[in-house]
Amino acid sequence: MKKFPFLILAFVALFITVNARSAKPDARNVADDALTGTWQLCNATTLQPDTAIGGKPGIKRFKFINNNKFLVIETRQGGAMLVGSFSGAYIIDGDNYVETIDLNAPNIYGRPAQPKFSFKYKIKNGLLYVDGTDNGYHEVWAKVK
């Protein structure tokens, strides 16, 4: 029996519960309908779903985005084991996407909550491209169907 769908449902339920509070009043929460959904991190060279995050075989990273919140989880062993996660609010301003992390797994990310990460983003051919404007992240995500 596959545990991955149950794991996703459990973390989505946790995500909704933890992030049920309203967003900050100064945030512009104008969700791009194409942005909402489930995404899997891709290899930036091949543009195929990455199964070796951080050079570790079997690690997959997924991002769940709703109208103003996001959740990122890393799994291994076919999705049966959670490796790490973080979540928070985001805002969209033109082609800028800014995440504020409210909750994270410090044993994985080693930083306190509330850091902000700014990106330029675009969606093309079912892929989400994010390029850090104040950080070194340059990622490509594929929409999970």
Reply yes or no on whether the pLDDT at 140 is more than 70: yes
* Region of poorest pLDDT, from 32-41, 48-57, 63-72: 48-57
Task: Find, among 17, 24, 19, 60, the residue nearest to 42 by Cα.
Answer: 60
What is the pLDDT of the chain when averaged over all its residues?
A: 79
Instruction: Enter the pTM of the model.
Output: 0.75
Higher per-residue pLDDT: 92 or 108 = 92
pLDDT band at 82 (very low <50, low <70, confident <90, very high): confident
Reply yes or no on whether the pLDDT at 18 is more than 90: no
Question: What is the Cα–Cα distance from 98 to 107, expressed in whole angstroms?
Answer: 23
pLDDT band at 3 (very low <50, low <70, confident <90, very high): low
Contact 138, 40 (CB under 8 A): no
The arithmetic mean of pLDDT across residues 22-37, rounded, is: 62
The maximal CA–CA distance of the chain, rounded, in angstroms, is: 45
Q: Which fold has domain 4-143?
A: Lipocalin (2.40.128)
Domain ranges of the chain: 4-143
pLDDT at 25: 38
